[in-house]
């Protein structure tokens, strides 16, 4: 399958009073067309900064790109000027942010915010854009879309605001949709509706999806490939089947053990002891060594590289071979 996105050795760092924070530190992955990739890990592991880097939305300063490439259909996004990136954002690559109430402008109607993209990228006049905005709101499951076009964000529920964000993201038929924790702070039933909606829209439009989450249950239901991140690096990657049936990295195994299981209400959830190292003071060896029961002197002295196995499964662990 031909890749539409290739991230190669990406390094997104921040200058802070405590030193250089290596928020994303040598991340590499590829994404074919019409494929769903889940990026999983604890808060602060670099998932969202990876997404913002692809969109070139990292604030500079204090952030900066210390190295790597982001190849979108062969073009390195890190070398494009801001005008070129502005034309690409929304039209070819769209993003749904974590919290729709802070992502939507409170002083403009939901329709106006969708219409702005359509007039900017698609060249529609206001009447055409309004008609299309109503169509999009209907497509994402909002009742009475012709009336909701004139609703302000505060007049909608959290689930409806997230649907507006999805409508806005899909307004220009992007080839890639990045969804950063799209179900944060939503009720469980609404979460399921939003995830089903993303899956349905992907099947209908053929777009690729990067889903950023900390929930392996969401990954199992929606994704085909998985990237597990820890302390700014990728520690394991593979298909959903590979990751769930044969996790190679101790961190991935710990995450999978922490998932609640039906019928085992009395069973205590697994806890990964210890703390994630600071991105301003990363250790020399494996970044998971201080929390890993398998770690030895080699793990603490040398950082393992991401190694590929015959199946295409990858892991960065000295113990992955057994």
HEC readout, 134-189: HHHHHHCCCCCHHHHCCCCHHHCCHHHHHHHHHHHHHCCCCCEEEEECCCCCCCHH
> Within a domain: residue 119?
yes
> Within a domain: residue 273?
no
> Within a domain: residue 54?
yes
> Within a domain: residue 317?
no
Q: What is the pLDDT of residue 79?
A: 94
pLDDT, one tens digit per residue, over 216-262 is 888 888 899 999 999 999 999 999 999 999 999 999 998 888 777 77
> Within a domain: residue 57?
yes
What burial letters (b/e) apply to 48-67, b meaning 16+ CB within 10 Å? Answer: bbbbbbbbbebeeeebebee
> Within a domain: residue 18?
yes
Return d(Cα 312, Cα 306) in angstroms, integer: 12
Q: What is the pLDDT of residue 266?
A: 66
Order of strands, sheet of 63-72, starting from the edge strand that comes earlier in the sequence:
19-32, 3-16, 63-72, 75-76
> Within a domain: residue 288?
no
Average pLDDT of adjacent 10-residue blocks, the chain of 322 residues: 91 94 95 93 91 93 95 94 89 83 85 90 90 90 90 88 86 89 75 82 88 86 92 94 92 86 69 87 92 91 90 88 67
pLDDT, one tens digit per residue, over 251-270 is 999 888 877 777 666 667 77
* Domain range for 84: 3-232
Instruction: Report how far apart the first and last C-alpha atoms of the chain are (Å, whole number).
Output: 31
Q: What DSSP line would sit under 20-55, residue for residue?
A: EEEEEEEEEEEEETT-EEEEE--TTSSHHHHHHHHT
The CATH code of the domain that includes 94 is 3.40.50.300
Q: What is the pLDDT of residue 11?
A: 97
Whether 38 contacts 227, CB under 8 Å: yes
**Domains held by the chain: number:** 1
Nearest to 11 by CA among 181, 234, 208: 234
Rg for the chain, CA atoms, rounded: 21
> Within a domain: residue 87?
yes
């Amino acid at each position: 399958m031909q890749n539409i996105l290739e991230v190669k050795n990406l390094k997104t760092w921040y200058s802070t009073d405590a030193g250089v924070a290596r928020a994303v530190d040598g991340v590499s992955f590829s994404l074919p067309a019409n494929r769903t990739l889940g990026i999983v890990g604890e808060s602060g592991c670099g998932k969202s900064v990876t997404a913002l880097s692809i969109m070139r939305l990292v604030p500079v300063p204090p952030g900066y790109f210390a190295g790597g490439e982001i190849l979108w259909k062969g073009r390195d996004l890190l070398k494009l000027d801001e005008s070129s990136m502005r034309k690409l954002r929304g039209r070819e690559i769209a993003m749904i942010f974590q919290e729709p109430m802070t992502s939507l402008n409170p002083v403009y109607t939901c329709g106006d915010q969708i219409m702005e993209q359509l007039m900017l990228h698609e060249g529609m006049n206001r009447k055409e854009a309004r008609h299309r905005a109503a169509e999009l709101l209907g497509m994402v499951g909002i009742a009475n879309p012709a009336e909701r076009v004139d609703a302000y964000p505060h007049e909608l529920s959290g689930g409806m605001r997230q649907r507006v964000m999805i409508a806005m993201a899909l307004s220009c038929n992007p080839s890639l949709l990045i969804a950063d924790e799209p179900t944060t702070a939503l009720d469980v039933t609404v979460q399921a509706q939003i995830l089903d909606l993303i899956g349905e829209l992907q099947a209908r439009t053929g777009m690729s999806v990067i889903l950023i989450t900390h929930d392996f249950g969401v990954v199992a239901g929606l994704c085909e490939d998985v990237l597990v991140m820890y302390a700014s690096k990728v520690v394991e990657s593979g298909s959903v089947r590979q990751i769930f049936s044969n996790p190679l990295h101790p961190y991935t195994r710990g995450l999978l053990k922490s998932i609640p299981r039906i019928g085992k209400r009395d069973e205590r959830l697994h806890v990964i002891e210890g703390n994630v190292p600071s991105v301003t003071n990363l250790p020399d060896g494996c970044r998971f060594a201080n929390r890993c029961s398998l770690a030895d002197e080699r793990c603490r002295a040398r950082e393992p590289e991401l190694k590929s196995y015959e199946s295409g499964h990858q892991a960065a662990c000295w113990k992955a071979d057994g």
